[in-house]
Protein backbone atom coordinates (compact mmCIF):
# COMPACT_ATOMS: atom_id res chain seq x y z
CA UNK A 1 0.00 0.00 0.00
CA UNK A 2 2.98 2.32 0.31
CA UNK A 3 2.98 4.87 -2.44
CA UNK A 4 -0.73 4.57 -3.27
CA UNK A 5 -2.17 7.74 -4.75
CA UNK A 6 -5.85 6.71 -4.71
CA UNK A 7 -8.09 6.09 -1.71
CA UNK A 8 -9.14 2.62 -0.64
CA UNK A 9 -12.88 1.93 -0.92
CA UNK A 10 -14.16 0.64 2.44
CA UNK A 11 -17.25 -1.55 2.70
CA UNK A 12 -18.75 -2.17 6.14
CA UNK A 13 -21.11 -4.98 7.05
CA UNK A 14 -22.62 -6.56 10.13
CA UNK A 15 -22.45 -10.35 10.32
CA UNK A 16 -24.21 -12.60 12.82
CA UNK A 17 -21.69 -15.29 13.72
CA UNK A 18 -23.22 -18.70 14.39
CA UNK A 19 -22.02 -21.62 16.51
CA UNK A 20 -20.94 -23.26 13.25
CA UNK A 21 -18.36 -21.90 10.81
CA UNK A 22 -19.82 -18.77 9.16
CA UNK A 23 -18.36 -17.08 6.08
CA UNK A 24 -17.73 -13.43 6.94
CA UNK A 25 -15.78 -12.41 3.82
CA UNK A 26 -15.69 -13.97 0.37
CA UNK A 27 -12.40 -14.39 -1.46
CA UNK A 28 -11.36 -11.13 -3.14
CA UNK A 29 -8.16 -10.57 -5.16
CA UNK A 30 -8.49 -6.79 -4.65
CA UNK A 31 -8.55 -6.86 -0.82
CA UNK A 32 -6.07 -4.49 0.86
CA UNK A 33 -7.48 -4.05 4.36
CA UNK A 34 -9.63 -5.89 6.91
CA UNK A 35 -11.04 -4.79 10.27
CA UNK A 36 -13.15 -6.99 12.53
CA UNK A 37 -14.88 -5.59 15.65
CA UNK A 38 -16.71 -7.92 18.00
CA UNK A 39 -19.89 -6.24 19.30
CA UNK A 40 -21.13 -9.51 20.76
CA UNK A 41 -21.08 -10.75 24.35
CA UNK A 42 -18.85 -13.77 23.57
CA UNK A 43 -15.44 -14.20 21.98
CA UNK A 44 -15.46 -14.78 18.22
CA UNK A 45 -12.90 -17.02 16.51
CA UNK A 46 -11.71 -16.07 13.00
CA UNK A 47 -10.04 -18.41 10.50
CA UNK A 48 -8.42 -17.62 7.16
CA UNK A 49 -8.95 -20.03 4.27
CA UNK A 50 -10.38 -22.90 6.29
CA UNK A 51 -13.38 -23.84 8.40
CA UNK A 52 -13.38 -21.88 11.66
CA UNK A 53 -13.24 -23.89 14.86
CA UNK A 54 -12.73 -22.92 18.47
CA UNK A 55 -9.31 -24.60 18.36
CA UNK A 56 -7.71 -23.38 15.12
CA UNK A 57 -8.72 -19.72 14.88
CA UNK A 58 -7.64 -16.26 16.04
CA UNK A 59 -9.68 -14.93 18.96
CA UNK A 60 -11.40 -11.54 18.82
CA UNK A 61 -12.45 -10.80 22.38
CA UNK A 62 -16.07 -9.97 23.28
CA UNK A 63 -17.53 -6.48 23.75
CA UNK A 64 -15.32 -4.42 21.46
CA UNK A 65 -12.33 -6.62 20.77
CA UNK A 66 -10.88 -6.03 17.32
CA UNK A 67 -8.48 -7.38 14.73
CA UNK A 68 -7.04 -5.11 12.03
CA UNK A 69 -5.03 -6.41 9.09
CA UNK A 70 -3.24 -4.00 6.80
CA UNK A 71 -0.40 -5.89 5.16
CA UNK A 72 1.31 -5.80 1.77
CA UNK A 73 0.95 -9.63 1.75
CA UNK A 74 -2.82 -9.45 2.40
CA UNK A 75 -4.79 -12.68 2.69
CA UNK A 76 -7.19 -12.72 -0.29
CA UNK A 77 -9.15 -15.91 0.42
CA UNK A 78 -12.35 -16.72 2.28
CA UNK A 79 -12.55 -15.64 5.93
CA UNK A 80 -14.76 -17.61 8.35
CA UNK A 81 -15.78 -17.17 11.99
CA UNK A 82 -17.47 -19.12 14.78
CA UNK A 83 -18.71 -18.42 18.31
CA UNK A 84 -19.56 -20.76 21.18
CA UNK A 85 -23.33 -20.29 21.33
CA UNK A 86 -24.02 -18.32 18.12
CA UNK A 87 -25.91 -15.09 17.50
CA UNK A 88 -22.83 -12.87 17.97
CA UNK A 89 -22.57 -9.49 16.21
CA UNK A 90 -19.33 -8.98 14.24
CA UNK A 91 -18.70 -5.74 12.34
CA UNK A 92 -16.51 -6.18 9.28
CA UNK A 93 -14.73 -3.47 7.29
CA UNK A 94 -13.25 -4.67 3.98
CA UNK A 95 -10.98 -2.37 1.99
CA UNK A 96 -10.25 -2.49 -1.73
Q: What range defines the domain where residue 56 resides?
A: 10-64+72-95
Its pTM stands at 0.88
For the chain, the average pLDDT equals 91
83 in a structural domain: yes
53-77 pLDDT tens trace:
999 999 999 999 999 998 888 999 9
Q: Name the nearest CA neighbour of 52 among 12, 25, 92, 29.
A: 25
Say which CATH number the domain at 38 has: 2.60.120
71-88 pLDDT tens trace:
888 999 999 999 999 999
What does residue 13 show for φ and ψ, rounded to 5 degrees?
-140, 160
Give the count of domains, the chain. Answer: 1
Which pLDDT belongs to residue 7?
63
Which pLDDT belongs to residue 1?
46
CA angle 26, 28, 31 (to 5 degrees): 115
Which pLDDT belongs to residue 4?
54
Amino acid sequence: MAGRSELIQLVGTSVTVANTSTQILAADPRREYMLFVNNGSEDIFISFGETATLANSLVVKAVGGSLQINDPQMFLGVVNAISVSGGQDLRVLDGK
